[in-house]
Structure 1
Amino acid sequence: MTFPNLPQPLAEALSARGYAAPTPVQAAVIEPEAHGRDLIVSAQTGSGKTVAFGLAMAGELMPEGQLPPAAAPLALIIAPTRELALQVSRELQWLYASAHARIATCVGGMDASRERRALSHGAHIVVGTPGRLRDHLERGALDLSSLRAAVLDEADEMLDMGFREDLEEILDATPAERRTLLFSATMPKPIVALAKRYQKDALRIETKGEDRGHGDISYVAVTVAPADIEHAAINLLRLHEAETAILFCATRDNVRRLHASLVERGFAAVALSGEHSQNERNAALQALRDKRARVCVATDVAARGIDLPSLSLVIHVELPRDAETLQHRSGRTGRAGRKGTAVLMVPYPRRRRVEMMLRGAKINVEWTNPPTADDIRASDRERLITTLLEPVEIDEEDRALAQRLIAEKSPEDIAAMLVQAHRARLPEPEELVAATPEAQRAAQADRHRPGFDDTQWFVMDIGRRQNADPRWLLPLLCRRGHITRNEIGAIRIGPNETWFQVPTGIAAKFNAAVQRTAREDGEDESGIRIIPGNGPAPGGNGAPRGAPRTGGARGAPMHRARPTNPRKPQGRRP
């Protein structure tokens, strides 16, 4: 038997689940030297930790090979977030199902009175978050006097989230002879202190290799223009067409914006952040599990503990704060032997810092450019051909319908309609701007087309620092100056100003229209001013030659403060 010395109900559950052999962390916790001892375990996310501590505490829960009648809990598992606690509870449910274990879950955001009733009816195992467990303990609903095993899952994260006092109060209420299992990805000083206070002669188990990245996760870094992050994320989703994907953002607001953008473009997406209630989170996760949604946009905390078997793509839309966060995020995929891909979207000004972080974390990564619209269309074609050439069983009704179609249209027409129907279901890829300063300068130089030899330069008070982008500047110029895109020549984007050419023959007409569409201060409703200039200084990064650097009677600076990350001018629809 691949899992030796286990109670029969657990061995049967593992076999039914398809476990052929234990993962390294599971094998380590059931070794004879670990039996009955306190444990400090460091293991990668997705390495089978939940099953590991479920097996490790089996000796305390089932010394005679079966569970006693449910009364005061025998085991307590504490997890940092609701999602992780619920995930742990689900894992232990199937592992201890044959043993007829009663498992109670106590997490914030759920019905506390229902949890108290469940505890009053007796439970073998209690799984919960620190705050809710402490609340039940102080109210007398949680009796820890019979506890034989306590498990702290992702202990480092719980301390980072400020749960130290909660943990200490809970552990102080447990019997001194209990067994304590501490699972932590890292071992900072607060974790060491916690272990010394609540553990005795603990065995240290380290199953993480020197390489931080999972062997089952391929790391890819794409360099993007800062203003093009959202469009690059869309193209990555379209290129991979993963069965399930998760996109990480740093804040609730960014989760909300990106989720809305994806839904608008036709992606079946859900959002997870601290602003969502527990019922909303449960509904979102269930939509991902039953394939009604394929994309999840989430913050770090909201996504901890998520285990989706079909998750094969993780996109770090906003960079993680450190290598540990990168590991936890990426560990949502590549779990239990499945392959996964983690993509870091790196704004080109931050590439060097990201390279240092990856090098320090010993994570091997492939650097590449974001997929273009042409890349995605080529991938779509190959996927469609592969799908249509796969063998499939066709019933008589479908065959009769096919014969009717062939009688009405040619096979080529029918195939073309099939391709069109397939493409209509897919969101359109996005056109991206150049991803590096060098490429941007080359692309801008190409904008000087034949017929623009006699031109007049104009300058507007917005530049790279305000995320100036030709894709929304062009419509603005056409609207303000009453001209077409074809009548705008070279565009030079500087740090705080952007220069552009208009043919001399229509420059006066353009300037007059700009003045008519401006307010008294020369700006339009978005706060952007356009005036004639003599063109950028050589190299494209200096002040415009001969252009006024100040505006207004009192010499106020031409550039005005703008939002940190404008996608388009204020007052315009995204």
Structure 2
Amino acid sequence: MTFDHLSPVLSDALTARGYEALTPVQAQVTEAEAHGRDLLVSAQTGSGKTVAFGLAMADELLADGRLPFASAPLALIVAPTRELALQVSRELGWLYAQAGARIATCVGGMDASRERRALNQGVHIVVGTPGRLRDHLERGALDLAALRVAVLDEADEMLDMGFREDLEEILDATPATRRTLLFSATIPKPIAQLAKRYQKDALRISTVGDTRGHGDIAYQVVTVAPADIEGAVINLLRLHEADTAMLFCATRDNVRRLHARLVNRGFAAVALSGEHSQNERNHALQALRDRRARVCVATDVAARGIDLPSLSLVVHVEIPRDAETLQHRSGRTGRAGKKGTAVLIVPYPRRRRVDAMLRGAKIEAQWMPAPTAADVRARDQERLIEALLAPVEHEADDLELAQRLLAERSPEDIAASLVRAHRATMPPPEELIDNGPPARGERGERPDRTPRREGFDDSVWFRLDVGRRQNADPRWILPLLCRRGHVTKNEIGAIRIGPNETLFNIPLAIADRFAEAVERTAGRDGGEDDSGVTITPAPEGSSYPPRRDKRPFKGGPRGDGPRKPHGQGKPGGGFKAKPYAKGKKGRQG
């Protein structure tokens, strides 16, 4: 297909690359009204922004289909991360190959002396990160006096990362006659201020619709117990069996731990975080492109700008800090018209926060439980049957070997051996904690009571200092008790959730061992969702919890001062409590 409104060298490059039509943002920046003007562009991640500003700056660079001789750069592209800068350099390389473009990449972690030599030899386009570009500028290696166009890619991310001062120094060193193209997924107030200072009569272009969620991405929310997060990750990877999957964690330590866990389980995985050198990052990305690795565990910053054509699954192992981070993470998949899946793993106590974030971002997501080991095995069977029943031409040697096997074993034995050999090549799925029957409501509202279990007549009651008002739920309380008390889920009896406390019973035979384990593990939990929960023996006489309090709640939130113990002031109350008098008169102490 030809693109008549573009320069022939660019049209030929797009056709050779397989382009049949321009994306919306690419089409708008090449319209007649955008020629020669500063542009303020907001477009979704994965919408083809790199090619878009490559096409937009052609008027300033090309003369009769060629780039002129240049002793100093004619175009400058600033990107927030090394990976994004390298990706931009590759994209512009094929786009301007026929025009004879010389492109230099200046990013942290690479050999600065080699970059300076490339700049001294003369280049047409420079692509780099703010810190390295500023360093070359201050050392005199980067001359911006002849610059015709400056591009800020992912400007919102650069400001979030604290590069405002670097950007201002770089732009202040460029000619006032330059053309400035500012590309950003969103245009918050800091971006608007930056545009007002460095752009003149900018044309505003937006291809972001009312729905901020990417149309080619299916969003899913998997709810789990806090102790089952890593198990859910393993089952999700096994269930989808994506060609390439990316897992997002919040910190370097979490990336390191999850990567080690996956490698130990037999997954071909690589890691990307700030602690890795540029050489290590390049090797990891090349392993993903070569299909030697299929899973990438990364932090937000390290994965910014990564473009992997085979990436079809994104898993948010840790909840994004906001809707913008969710969008940028998920945008690694569903690119260039391909479909992708983004899965958020949400511990039960944090469902409300994620639900609010999705509503605010106008993203429709499907809520579902985590895939179980049985779900994974069933999907494995479907995939194996599909693979074996697919039509294929057999070699003569294969048919001969099949005849020998049939002579020695029955077809059933051969098929069973084939299934066993197939399963041995894949990591086994995880057995997740059984959370019992589903809770009521779309978001899993907590049931008031759980049924009394058999075999717990001779038991001891314990107490948690959280209840319904603190978002208590048996589905995260159960794994907490198992972890703190060193017991199994079958050794925990009934769980009764009150307004501000929860009671549960433990068999008398193991009650002392449970209490000792709880005391030893106090303060060690450290989990974001479980910290601060106190487990103590229930007050004497609480062989069965008191009835649910129907009176209106008169106290403040938990932690806002002393609370009356349950049953105080009522004849025959279930708990023994010290007198507590209201008012100044008679107040004790």
The answer, yes or no, to whether TM exceeds 0.5 is yes
Counterpart contact for 1:468–1:493, Cα < 8 Å: no
**What is the match of residue 448 of structure 1?**
453
- 1:432 aligned partner, one-letter code: I
**What is the match of residue 482 of structure 2?**
473
Counterpart contact for 2:461–2:506, Cα < 8 Å: yes
The answer on 1:338 being equivalent to 2:358 is: no
Structure-2 change in CA distance of 1:453 and 1:376 (3 Å): same
Separation in 2 of the partners of 1:548 and 1:291? 66
Structure 1 position 2, deviation (Å): 4.4
- 1:473 aligned partner, one-letter code: C
SS at match of 1:301: coil
Structure-2 change in CA distance of 1:398 and 1:500 (3 Å): farther
Pairs within 5 Å for 1:534-573: 535=543, 537-538=545-546
**What is the match of residue 60 of structure 2?**
60
**What is the match of residue 561 of structure 2?**
none
Counterpart contact for 1:231–1:432, Cα < 8 Å: no
Counterpart contact for 1:70–1:102, Cα < 8 Å: no
Counterpart contact for 2:103–2:124, Cα < 8 Å: yes
- 2:343 aligned partner, one-letter code: V
Separation in 1 of the partners of 2:463 and 2:546? 18
Separation in 1 of the partners of 2:186 and 2:136? 29
TM-score (norm 2): 0.81
Q: Residue by residue, what CA displacement relative to the aligned partner does 1:156-209 show, whole Å, maximum 9, x if unpaired? A: 111111111111111111122111111011212221222122111111111111
**What is the match of residue 316 of structure 1?**
316
Separation in 1 of the partners of 2:84 and 2:313? 20
SS at match of 2:218: strand
Counterpart contact for 2:226–2:479, Cα < 8 Å: no
Runs of 4+ in 1 over 4 A off after TM superposition: 435-447, 458-472, 474-478, 493-500, 510-515, 521-536, 538-549
**What is the match of residue 457 of structure 1?**
460
Pairs within 5 Å for 1:252-331: 252-331=252-331
Question: Structure 2 regions of 5+ residues with no counterpart?
Answer: 467-471, 526-534, 550-564, 568-572, 578-589
TM-score (norm 1): 0.83
Range that drifts further, 307-316 or 9-18: 9-18
Separation in 1 of the partners of 2:576 and 2:414? 62
Separation in 2 of the partners of 1:67 and 1:423? 56
Calculate percent identity across the aligned residue pairs: 67
**What is the match of residue 384 of structure 2?**
384
Structure 1 position 140, deviation (Å): 0.8
| Number of positions where the alignment pairs a residue of Structure 1 with one of Structure 2 | 533
SS at match of 2:151: strand
Structure 1 position 396, deviation (Å): 2.5
Structure-2 change in CA distance of 1:197 and 1:372 (3 Å): same
SS at match of 1:33: helix
Range that drifts further, 47-56 or 430-439: 430-439
**What is the match of residue 239 of structure 1?**
239
Separation in 2 of the partners of 1:84 and 1:348? 35
Structure 1 position 489, deviation (Å): 5.9
**What is the match of residue 179 of structure 1?**
179
Structure 1 position 474, deviation (Å): 8.4
Structure 1 position 543, deviation (Å): 8.3
Separation in 2 of the partners of 1:88 and 1:353? 35
Range that drifts further, 433-442 or 20-29: 433-442
Structure 1 position 363, deviation (Å): 1.5
Structure 1 position 148, deviation (Å): 1.2
- 1:501 aligned partner, one-letter code: I
Question: Structure 1 regions of 5+ residues with no counterpart?
Answer: 479-483, 550-574
Structure 1 position 253, deviation (Å): 1.9
Structure-2 change in CA distance of 1:421 and 1:106 (3 Å): same
Separation in 2 of the partners of 1:145 and 1:401? 73
Structure 1 position 112, deviation (Å): 0.7
- 1:50 aligned partner, one-letter code: T
Structure 1 position 80, deviation (Å): 0.7
- 1:90 aligned partner, one-letter code: R
Counterpart contact for 2:503–2:545, Cα < 8 Å: no
Range that drifts further, 452-461 or 57-66: 452-461
- 2:460 aligned partner, one-letter code: W
RMSD: 3.4
Separation in 2 of the partners of 1:543 and 1:189? 51
Structure-2 change in CA distance of 1:443 and 1:287 (3 Å): farther
**What is the match of residue 493 of structure 2?**
490
SS at match of 2:63: coil
